[in-house]
Structure 1
Amino acid sequence: MQPTTPVPFSAEQMKWYEQACARIDPKRLQDLLFALTDIHSPTGFARAASEFMVQHMNRIGMTARYQPMSFTSGNALGELRGSGGGASVLLYAPIDTHLECSEAEKILTGEGAEADLQPHAQRLDDWVFGLGASNPKGMIATLTEVATALIEAEVPLIGDLMLGMADGGMPVDIAARGHAGMSNGVAHLLNRGGYPDFAIVMKPWNWVYHEEPGMGWFKLRVHGTLGYAGVPRGTPGFRSSVVPAATVIQELEQWIIDYAERNTSGVICPHGWIAGVRGGDPERPAFPSAVTEIFFDVRVNPRTSPAEVKAQFANFVRALQAQRPELDLDWEMYGSVPGGTTDPQNWIIQSCKRGWEHLERRPHGTPDLLGGQTDGAALRRLGVPTARIGWPWPATGAPLPVAEGLGGMGATYIPDLIPCAQKILYALIDTLTRPRHEMGL
């Protein structure tokens, strides 16, 4: 990574920045986060949350509107115009949660009794708990507090500040709600008046990233024959699909590990995991399934197309069948989202790094390799130079029980968010108080 390009603040810009930072109110941020977390908004069902944020953005002095996508789904977009001649910056976060917390999802979550897996908010001291309270709603509350502080500090903006939240940001495909997910909302937002010169996406991890991966979703089927529990092993004409699937899973797990290593470049390590195995019928355990299906997600480096990933997986399946001719396999790629990248020397990347370095008091350096997919990849693919900036995650020391692993991404310690807010404020003042030509526009 090259050193960050120095562009010092003027004395006036530093004064505006300090005034805006002084306006950041952790209590106000927590109040908004609690209220937003208390509005259930699973993918494809975010209308109430988006309408709430439209009302809130209008109250703080922005001009905001709701963008419907369906009866149950829509986006929120707010704007604060500067005096003219500057750049526009979109502060962006998704608004939908990755889970619904229904009975059917207990196969994913377990019993789901933890505080971060509840579709309602709880607060305790400086904490907020509830489904999505950290990701994405902690991001929305922080970005909104940044906009509020900038407005209250009366910073004389030249450029335009935009604040956007879209449904469909989770890496899911909800068929019952018009196939919501996989970044369908952010494209809708941009296509309906929300296209900026630059975007800043807030997401976990305390680094600035200029690129993010996409996704490749695959199903691998192991074929056998319909069986019966009452027949002995070795009965002619019966082949289990379930037992050979155990072998396939081990081979696939190693391929995914090798795939990630082989396709690592830039700041992206495209991890993947087997998500599940499906076959048989719990109401008919006497009849072993003729097909066992394995499904998984591997991430797609921006320098690797989904078609190339598909070809790599096809090679794996061919080699596995050649090595084990007794296996009867077929497969399909049923989801694909390309990665996205921004020139690391682009103004908004460098500006966010300057903000990061101002707060951290050290050079940014090379960030930890990234495998998480967000709408930032879609923004970049759609031509918007985009910086991702974040905070240390997950929060530690929660006073209520939270799920192990990813859980409900719903435990937020408010003080953790404030440095990130200050870094984003730095980039906004750096960008929105300059004429366009100083940023190469």
Structure 2
Amino acid sequence: MTAPLDAAVGRVMRRVADEDLLAAITGLVDVASPTGAEGELASWIAARLSGDRIESKVQWIDGLQANAVAVLRGSGTGASTLLYAPLDTFTTGDPTRDVPGAARRMRPDMLPRAVVRGDLVQGLGAGNPKGHAACVLVAFEALAASGVELAGDVVAGFGAGGMPTFVPEGIGTPGRANTGHGVGAGFLAERGFTTDHAVIAKPGWSVSHEEVGLVWLDIVVPGEHTYVGSRHRMPYRNAVALAGVVANRLEDWFAEYAVRHEHDTMRPQGVVSSVEGGLGHLAASTPATVRLRADVRLTTRQTPATVTREVREFVTALGRELEAELRVDQIAGIPASRTDPGAPVIRAAVAAWEAVAGVPHQPIRENSGATDANILRMRGIPTARVGMPKVPAGSDGESVDFTLGMNLVDVREARRLVEVLVRTVLVLDGHDAREAG
């Protein structure tokens, strides 16, 4: 690293205090932001970012959903950079929605209420996405407060609808279908904030240049609608039992599919995620159909259409074996995406990561997680992903499962991520090439 870059980084990082990070994390966690209802949190962020040198706004998508955007203007002689993080949480924080699907009972970490224990903050989304959004917010504030001269604009974007979901009832207002799957990131890029580079802050202590895409498929399993009292007297085929066989066969096939399609840093997984069918109020009858929903990930060598076709071929063959007319319908699809590892944003992020980590960068492999990085790349913005490592244990030593991993953040790791973001921006802005003074 050059002396001008180190001097600029030091000048910015002196504006970052642990109490600033803690206040940002707890403030974000304490405002609920389920998918489709991020407007209140976007307004909170925009209000906090209003100040000298910063232009901030709430970018409303509809009456409940919004992005927060802030701009730090450069001289206009350099490339622009977007620091981005989504705002919506994986679960909602509402027991009527989260139990029993996401948990058998509501846990404290699943509530939108920050609890601080030493260097750890617990609460809904504290790790993903709000701890990462806090790092973007604090890095952006420090860049503005430092007075460091910038050649290009720096944009802080906080997006709605980043989780892989369609909320059927649109949280708050029925009939809102377009609430998830990167709607906020797409809206941000299309409505005035397309930049030269982007860095998305999402979990993983590494720099990623590519991500899997996804396809959502419904597998429709037929059966005979009949009555329990007539089971032994009439044609009988229980779609619920048959769906169980189909689900198990798919789960086995997905394990083989992932290995067969592994490419570069991606190993695309698949799961049967939900089942729907039957008349719950009429337990005496079997359903005419049962729907299995599957999420199947894909690499940059595949497309949503080719994956749909591959799954359909397997399911059709399975249907012949089971003597059942199974149907596969695609209901969502987002392509995988890739930024050239030699692109300036990837090289800058890797250099920043190595300066902070103090070791050579090694990409994490066998990834199957998708984020709004796909949406940004689809809008033509070269994008790097970088984030914090998973917290290994809770404050009382409890093991960290998937849910707690989403809802737990270490402030010390957050500070390291802030420095990575700051260094990346300054490298892209040319500070490593400037002469001292």
User: Same-fold call, TM > 0.5?
Assistant: yes
Partner of 1:144: 137
Alignment partners' CA distance in 2, 1:365 and 1:125: 30
CA contact 1:224–1:328 (8 Å) conserved in 2: no
Whole-angstrom distance in 1 between the partners of 2:79 and 2:409: 32
- Contact 1:117–1:403 (8 Å) recurs in 2: no
**C-alpha distance in 1, partners of 2:102/2:375?**
28
Residue pair 2:316, 2:326 contacting (<8 A) in 1 also: no
Separation (CA, whole Å) in 2 of partners of 1:248 and 1:14: 58
Q: 2:371 maps to which residue?
A: 374
Q: Which amino acid aligns with 2:344?
A: W
- Give the match for residue 166 of structure 2: 173
Q: 1:61 to 1:125 in 2, by over 3 A?
A: farther
CA RMSD, 1 decimal: 2.0
TM-score (norm 2): 0.92
Q: Is the 8 A contact 1:99 1:408 kept in 2?
A: no
**Could you tell me which residue of structure 2 aligns to residue 95 of structure 1?**
87
Q: 1:367, CA displacement in angstroms? A: 2.1
1:46 aligns with 2:38: yes
Q: Structure 2: which 5+ runs fail to align? A: 171-175
Q: C-alpha distance in 2, partners of 1:401/1:362?
A: 29
Matched with 1:4 is none
Are the equivalent residues in 1 in contact too, given 2:70–2:157 (CA < 8 A)?
A: yes
- Alignment partner, residue 272 of structure 1: 270
Query: Could you tell me how far apart the structure 2 residues matched to 1:232 and 1:79 are?
Result: 67
What does residue range 7-406 of structure 1 map to in structure 2 within 5 Å? 9-59=1-51, 61-102=53-94, 103-177=96-170, 178-179=176-177, 180-233=179-232, 235-324=233-322, 326-399=323-396, 404-406=401-403
Q: Distance in 2 between matches of 1:332 and 1:238?
A: 25
Equivalent-residue separation in structure 1 for 2:284 and 2:17 (angstroms): 62
Q: What is the alpha-carbon distance in structure 1 between the residues aligned to residue 229 and residue 339 of structure 2?
A: 60
The alignment partner of 2:91 has SS state of coil
**Counterpart residue number, 2:173:** none
Give the 3-state SS of the residue equivalent to 2:90 in structure 1: coil
CA-CA distance at 1:84 after TM superposition = 2.5
3-state SS of 2:49 partner:
helix
Q: Deviations over 1:256-308 (max 9, x none)?
A: 11221122112111112111222223322111222222111011212211011
Q: Which amino acid is 1:277 matched to? A: V
2:328 aligns to what SS in structure 1?
A: strand
* Higher mean C-alpha displacement, 96-105 vs 74-83: 96-105
Identity %: 29
Q: Which residue of 2 aligns with 1:3?
A: none
**Partners of 1:394 and 1:19 in 2: how far apart?**
29
Retained in 1: the 8 A contact 2:83–2:136? yes
Q: 1:215 to 1:60 in 2, by over 3 A?
A: farther
Work out whether residues 200 and 373 of structure 2, in 8 Å CA contact, stay in contact via their aligned partners in 1.
yes
Deviation of 1:35 after TM superposition, in Å, equals 1.2
Query: Residues 71 and 157 of structure 1: is their aligned pair in 2 closer, same or farther, counting only changes over 3 Å?
Result: same
Distance 1:10 1:255 in 2: 51
**CA distance in 2: counterparts of 1:208 and 1:333, whole angstroms:** 31
Deviations 1:345-369 (A, max 9, x none): 1000011001111122222134222
1:265 counterpart letter in structure 2: H
- CA distance in structure 2 between the aligned counterparts of 1:52 and 1:402, rounded to whole angstroms: 33
Give the whole-Å Cα distance in 2 for the aligned partners of 1:239 and 1:385.
52
Q: What secondary structure, in the 3-state scheme, does the structure 1 residue paired with 2:402 have?
A: coil
Q: Distance in 1 between matches of 2:358 and 2:404?
A: 33
CA distance in structure 2 between the aligned counterparts of 1:294 and 1:407, rounded to whole angstroms: 27
* Residue pair 2:123, 2:408 contacting (<8 A) in 1 also: yes
Query: d(CA) in 2 for partners of 1:145 and 1:381?
Result: 27
CA contact (8 A) 1:217 1:334 kept: yes
d(CA) in 1 for partners of 2:64, 2:368: 31
Task: Confirm or deny: 8 A CA contact 1:89 1:161 kept in the other structure.
Answer: yes
Contact 2:223 2:238 in 1 (8 A): yes
TM (norm. structure 1) is 0.91
Aligned length: 426
Q: Secondary structure at the match of 1:163?
A: strand
Is 2:91–2:102's contact at 8 Å kept on the other side of the alignment? no
8 Å contact kept, 2:316–2:327: no
Structure 1 residues 26 and 299 mapped into 2: Cα distance closer, same or farther (>3 Å)?
A: same
Amino acid aligned to 1:50: A
> What 5-or-longer segments of structure 1 have no aligned partner?
1-8, 437-441
For residues 328 and 117 of structure 1, the distance between their equivalents in structure 2, rounded to whole angstroms, comes to 41
Alpha-carbon distance in structure 2 between the residues aligned to 1:201 and 1:352: 11
Q: Which amino acid aligns with 1:427?
A: T
